[in-house]
Structure 1
Amino acid sequence: MTATVLSTTEVELEVVLEQKEVIADGVVLLTLRHPGDEPLPEWAPGAHIDLLLRENLVRQYSLCGDPANRAVFQVAVRREQAGRGGSAHVHDELAAGDLVRVRGPRNNFRLVEAPRYLFVAGGIGITPLLPMISAAEQRGADWRLVYGGRTQASMPFADELVARFGDRVSLRPADSGSSLELRKLLKRPGRGTAIYCCGPESLLAEAEKRCHRWRSALHVERFAAAAPADAGPATAFDVELARSGITIRVPENRSILDAVEDAGAPAMSSCREGICGTCETRVLDGTPDHRDSLLTASDRATGETMMICVSRACGSRLVLDL
């Protein structure tokens, strides 16, 4: 068993799939343990890990267990019928006792300090919110969860949440005629309320629309990339790799990441969709054309970093810390 240190907080290592159990219709919970029973890396609510399932098949899943339990990682995976093979691999091919390569943890969805929280989950989007809810409860914060899905049987952890927290949890399965009613939920969240929302793109886009007057209160995490509304045309440009000492041409039909890899320069990547943060790279000169679904408006305004898997250049040249 080997472990590769990627940063001060992120590692790549092999773990054992200790248990795989069905916890809802179409959803399995994976419990992963270090093969030598050593403590796993620390993480905080909102973190996710990469599962390196096989060559060119890497998927990100939110950690949904207890951050204080360093013995295991837990992730829940829904089978996506129209997916690209990751969830099918997890459901059909992984079995207890298998060795699985993981990378992380990485956290782009941190829980901020707030006196009150509104958690909004759609389907498997409940997973990153579970440790957040526990943390909010431990802090004595005022919080509530509104959780929707197709059917209650397809909503993982629904029964446990109601049993543990009672009327702080509102379940809204669509087959019972319920809906999340974001127009009412987000009409006026109240002073000091932090809103955390995770689920399908339709839910997140609606939440962003409803929160346009208090956008700073809303925190979202995407499982799929959102189409950038303000992306310019995909023109060619040059990228200087400051540490590698080379300049490469990025054509119209290729990403910076593709061009960097073609040149043999080292660069980390995972989702290749601008949602996981693995390829975030420091910009030393030039203006990025941000096309990711991760950086905040203030992050984009500074232009200090960019996701090289999807973002491009506003001008003819960028200098990157690669």
Structure 2
Amino acid sequence: MDLDTPPPDLYGRPRADRFMQRLTAFGDGYSSALGSPLLRRSPRRPQSRPTPPLQLVVAARREVAADVVELRLADPSGGPLPAWQPGAHLRLALPSGRERHYSLCGDPSDRAGYRIAVRRLPEGGGGSVEIHDTLHPGTRLTARRPRNGFAFCAEPAVLLLAGGIGVTPLIPMVHEARSHGLDWQLVLVGRSADTLPYAAELRALDRLRVHLRTDDEHGVPTGAELLARAPHGAAVYCCGPAPMLAAVQQALDASPAASLHFERFGAAPVTDGAPFTLRLGADGPALDVPADRSALDVLREARPDLPYSCHQGFCGTCEVRVLAGRPEHRDRRLSTEQRAAGALLPCVSRAAEGETLVLDV
């Protein structure tokens, strides 16, 4: 017998074992059926269903600073809302069809209502103006369940830095820090005292740990000045405009702080882009995207109705489809399969210099 040839069956018998034949045939059939949708999940496991949107009603509204309105959103039936953690945001569907993200700024232990605060931006994309002008107590809304892209790790020592409306995600962190007995400090900065949301509320929690600073009285702070109150080895949580964040990043190494967590409430500046071209359809107009602008900004000049929200590549609202060209994906949302199918988030993703992306828009 050729030693390289396997025996007819496991025991070296001259005829194949009938039981093993049947078992092998069954195994081959089962393995080939693994690609069938019927066998992709356990028959005992229920089919997963999309999470339905939250039904909310505006329960209360008040002004908390100049051009800043607070909304309290509740379950229309009075039931408890889903739990959330500090740093979470709510994706709100407005009556116009716009979708916008807003940080939850209440106490996470309060399950009776969600609190958001919105600054009016007349030159923005229309979402803040719609909220200020049309959302009043009794208005019904839908929203996605809270998601967190700015998680609070509750380090023993923390410094919270807020620029104006950027205080909203930090307020829940204050509540969390107090409940855990952490060594915390909060610095809230703004143009003037009337522009600082929740200043009185925060000072009432702890006047010794909450520090207010306004440009008209103290001047625009440097990164070193903002970080000066950091406890030694502190984790810094910062939310504010891009110049404030850049100043803090540059001064971090020379400060007492040890780490930095941050969230922008606007698009990050494009610092490593190259010029490329967008074409709207196979035979449509070509749009030049400069090295220092996002594809979304250029697209919205030609298509003002193009939806968008976060400007940071995590919500997916601005998704478009690429028909041709090689994009450089920079988002934090799309899967490999979605990218391969042509999905693109133009708020952050780009293309190489000289490349042309043909879009289905």
TM-score, normalised to structure 1's length? Answer: 0.72
Distance 2:164 2:84 in 1: 23
CA contact (8 A) 1:147 1:180 kept: no
Matched, 1:204 2:241: no
- The residue that corresponds to 2:33 in the other structure is none
- The residue that corresponds to 1:194 in the other structure is 235
Matched, 1:289 2:328: yes
Matched, 1:273 2:311: yes
Distance 1:81 1:104 in 2: 28
* Worse overlay, 79-88 or 89-98: 79-88
1:289 to 1:218, Cα distance in 2 relative to 1, 3 A: farther
- The residue that corresponds to 1:226 in the other structure is 268
- Runs of 4+ residues over 4 Å off in structure 1: 187-191, 212-216, 251-257, 278-281, 312-316
Shift of 1:201: 1.8
Amino acid of the residue matched to residue 149 of structure 1? G
1:6 to 1:192, Cα distance in 2 relative to 1, 3 A: farther
Shift of 1:13: 2.1
CA contact (8 A) 2:86 2:172 kept: yes
Distance 2:180 2:54 in 1: 32
Distance 2:316 2:145 in 1: 9
Radius of gyration: which is bigger?
2
Shift of 1:104: 2.9
CA contact (8 A) 2:93 2:100 kept: yes
Match of 2:206, SS state, is helix
Distance 1:271 1:134 in 2: 28
Distance 2:344 2:145 in 1: 17
User: Aligned to 1:76, which of 109, 114, 117?
Assistant: 117
Q: Which runs of 5+ in 2 are unaligned?
A: 1-48, 279-285, 297-306, 320-325, 334-338, 356-361
Matched, 1:311 2:354: no
Q: Which runs of 5+ in 1 are unaligned?
A: 237-250, 258-268, 282-286, 296-302, 317-322
1:201 to 1:6, Cα distance in 2 relative to 1, 3 A: farther
Amino acid of the residue matched to residue 111 of structure 2? R
Match of 2:137, SS state, is coil
Amino acid of the residue matched to residue 274 of structure 1? Q
Per-residue CA deviation, residues 197-218 of structure 1 (Å, 9 max, x unaligned), is 1112221222222236799711
Amino acid of the residue matched to residue 266 of structure 2? A
CA contact (8 A) 2:106 2:116 kept: yes
User: Aligned to 1:184, which of 221, 225, 244?
Assistant: 225
CA contact (8 A) 1:274 1:307 kept: no
Amino acid of the residue matched to residue 345 of structure 2? I
Shift of 1:98: 0.6
Shift of 1:181: 3.4
Match of 1:211, SS state, is helix
Per-residue CA deviation, residues 63-108 of structure 1 (Å, 9 max, x unaligned), is 0011111111100111113222111111111110010121231111
| Aligned-residue CA RMSD (Å) | 3.7
- The residue that corresponds to 1:57 in the other structure is 98
- The residue that corresponds to 1:168 in the other structure is 209
Match of 2:269, SS state, is coil
Amino acid of the residue matched to residue 328 of structure 2? D
* Worse overlay, 28-37 or 182-191: 182-191
Shift of 1:314: 6.7
Matched, 1:135 2:164: no
Shift of 1:227: 2.1
Per-residue CA deviation, residues 5-48 of structure 1 (Å, 9 max, x unaligned), is 756xxx52221100011122111110001111222122100001
Count of residue correspondences:
275
1:173 to 1:256, Cα distance in 2 relative to 1, 3 A: closer
Matched, 1:146 2:187: yes
CA contact (8 A) 1:33 1:72 kept: yes
Match of 1:54, SS state, is coil
Shift of 1:288: 7.5
Distance 2:177 2:318 in 1: 29
Higher RCO (CA 8 Å, separation ≥ 6 residues):
1
